[in-house]
Amino acid sequence: MSATISAIGIYVPDTKIDNSYFEKILDTNDTWIRQRTGIINRYFAKEDEFTSDLCIKAVKNLIENNDADVSNVDFIIVATSTPDYTMPSVASQVQASFNISKAGCMDISAACAGFVYGIILAKGLIASGANKKVLIIGAETLSKVINLEDRTSCILFGDGAGAVIVEASAENHIFQSITETEGILGQNLYLSNLPAAINGQKITGDNKIHQNGRAVFKWAVSTLVEKIRELSELNERKLDKVDWLIPHSANLRILEAVCETLDFPIEKCLESIRNYGNTSAASIPIAWFNGLKSGKVKPDDIIIFAGFGGGLTSASICIQN
Ligand code: ACO
């Protein structure tokens, strides 16, 4: 069975945090943050606002924008590294909030690649004939797990959510995908509340994000370049036939380096890093939604989504708008 992405909505919390917020509490400045990351603003959730709240508001936005019906959704996937709790799943909270009967529900943990993993899973569920309409949400409240004493990482992250519906369709708009993981590099990016070990290396169980920025940066650029090339070959579409590239927005310099190496025009690369920071699983749908809203992305445009993050893992897929 063929599938298409039929609706999209997003939500970001009300509180806008510009770089001066960090200037007041850390040895950093607006110039460094803009030059090294591209980030101007990000949004932080309120103390009593959690990932499920952001998911529910993104779904409400999806319903309003597309006049969509979610009552007949038969599977809900939430991609997040910051669930309200380990169980029940955030997806179950969304199901309850919209009273969607008979929906399978699960959360997936694939960090900033989670939204793309969600699309790939939804396509598979529909292709198997098991499901017809899948709601996928990439959502994070990373502000709750940043370490405000670590200036190299806390300035990067923001909160947000993006929701899409993937449904069975006569014409296929979701093409080939590639997933790959280098678990051996896992200790370079982690978030844990247990003092466990990754690859034999003891980690801090403080429920804060820990990141080896330089190592992740290097891995991200080479992985994105390799996977985008592989994906365009797999889909038999030369990169000059791709209308938009939407990689995970982790750092503007990563996107610039990837576009330069691929000889892909940076104007055709959509990002959400400048105005939202790194929103992990939400960054790709936020960039896509804004591209649609501004009128840049047109019906039938060919788009490559390329997610990468903690794992270290990557997932890329080619779709038609
Ligand atoms: N303000 C001022 N100076 C700073 C700051 C700051 N906020 N942070 C670091 N510096 C300093 C460092 O101390 C260092 O100083 P030194 O030269 O005197 O030692 C200098 O700036 C350079 O530090 P680097 O760490 O080399 O800076 P870099 O250019 O690598 O930028 C960054 C750091 C922004 C973290 C970058 O490495 C990055 O974006 N990495 C990738 C992040 C990523 O892709 N994450 C994956 C996805 S996230 C997920 O999955 C949840």
pLDDT digits (tens, 9 = 90+) for 279-303: 999 999 999 999 999 999 999 999 9
87 and 164 inside one domain: yes
**Of 117, 152, 170, the domain-final residue:** 170
Domain end call among 148, 170, 192: 170
The upper half-sphere exposure of residue 135, i.e. CA atoms within 13 Å in the direction of its Cβ, equals: 34
The pLDDT value recorded for residue 235 is 83
Rounded CA separation 20/15 (Å): 14
Are 98 and 63 spatial neighbours (Cβ–Cβ below 8 Å)?
A: no
Q: Please list every protein residue whose CB sits less than 6 Å from any atom of ligand 1.
A: 28, 32-33, 36-37, 111-112, 151-152, 155, 189, 213-214, 216-217, 220, 250-251, 254, 278, 280, 309-310
What is the number of the ligand 1 atom nearest to the C-alpha of 216?
41
Are 107 and 184 part of one and the same domain?
no
Judged by DSSP in three states, 314 sits in strand
Please indicate, yes or no, whether residues 111 and 210 belong to a single structural domain of this protein.
Answer: no
Asked whether residue 20 falls in the same domain as residue 166, the answer is: yes
List beta partners, residue 165. Answer: 7, 135
Q: Mean pLDDT across the stretch 93-106?
A: 97
**How many domains, the chain?**
2
Q: pLDDT tens across 135-190, in order?
A: 999 999 999 999 999 999 999 999 999 999 999 999 999 999 999 999 999 999 99
pLDDT, residue 238, reads 87
- CA 84 vs CA 62, 77, 106, 161: distances in Å: 21, 15, 13, 14
In angstroms, the CA 148 to CA 128 distance is 45
Do residues 154 and 115 share a domain? yes
Query: Can you give the CATH number for the domain in which 249 is found?
Result: 3.40.47.10
Residues 145 and 279 in one domain: no
Catalytic-role residue among 112, 259, 269, 318: 112
DSSP string for 48-116: T--HHHHHHHHHHHHHHHHT---TT--EEEEE-SS-S-SSS-HHHHHHHHTT-TT-EEEEE--GGGHHH
Mean of per-residue pLDDT scores for the chain:
97
Give the whole-number percent of the chain exceeding pLDDT 90. Answer: 96
Residue listed under structure tokens 């576009």 = 259
Nearest protein Cα to ligand 1, atom 38? 213
C-alpha Rg value of the chain to the nearest Å = 18
Give yes or no: residues 137 and 209 share one domain: no
The SS3 call for residue 174 is strand
Same domain, 116 and 220: no
Q: Are 140 and 134 in contact (CB under 8 A)?
A: no
Last residue of a domain, one of 135, 170, 205: 170
Examine the domain organization and report whether 239 and 121 are in the same domain. no
| pTM (two decimals) | 0.97
247: containing domain: 175-320
One domain, residues 219 and 153: no
Q: Are residue 206 and residue 155 in the same domain, yes or no? A: no
- Are 110 and 38 members of one domain? yes
